[in-house]
Amino acid sequence: MTKEKRVEAAALKYDQNQHTSPIVVAKGKGKIAENILAAAREHQVPIQEDPTLLTLLGQLDINTAIPEELYEAVAEVFAFIYKVDQQQSKKE
């Protein structure tokens, strides 16, 4: 019998006018994670799966700025989002 792994999710926000680095705006497991992912899909926010980064983000409190050690990993996420946005704008 295999045990299904609980869904986990974290959401980041970056507003260069308000913060010097991205902040964690939501995180959770199970139903909360499912709600975060559903909201992202509903608002067409790109979703990237990165279990290692998720583990690190899960240790941060909500409304906490990303520590410098995570800048490179988070930059990769934002680069992914930028790429997805560019692909979507070409389709429109």
Q: What's the CATH code of the domain at 64? A: 3.40.1690.10
pTM given for the model: 0.77
How many structural domains compose the chain? 1
The two most distant CA atoms of the chain are separated, in Å, by 51
Tell me the per-residue pLDDT of 48-82, one tens digit each, with 9 for 90 and over.
888 888 999 999 999 999 998 888 888 888 888 88
- Residue 75 structural domain: 8-91
The answer to whether 91 and 53 are in contact (CB under 8 A) is no
* pLDDT recorded at residue 3: 59
Give the residue, 19 or 60, on which the prediction is more confident.
Answer: 60
Give the residue, 88 or 23, on which the prediction is more confident.
Answer: 23
In a domain, 33, yes or no: yes
- Residue 84 scores a pLDDT above 70: yes
Q: Which of 8, 11, 14, 17 is nearest to 62 (CA)?
A: 11
* pLDDT recorded at residue 12: 92
Residue 38 Cα distances to 17, 43, 45, 55, 91, angstroms:
27, 9, 10, 20, 23
Determine the Cα–Cα distance for residues 28 and 73; give it in Å rounded to an integer: 19
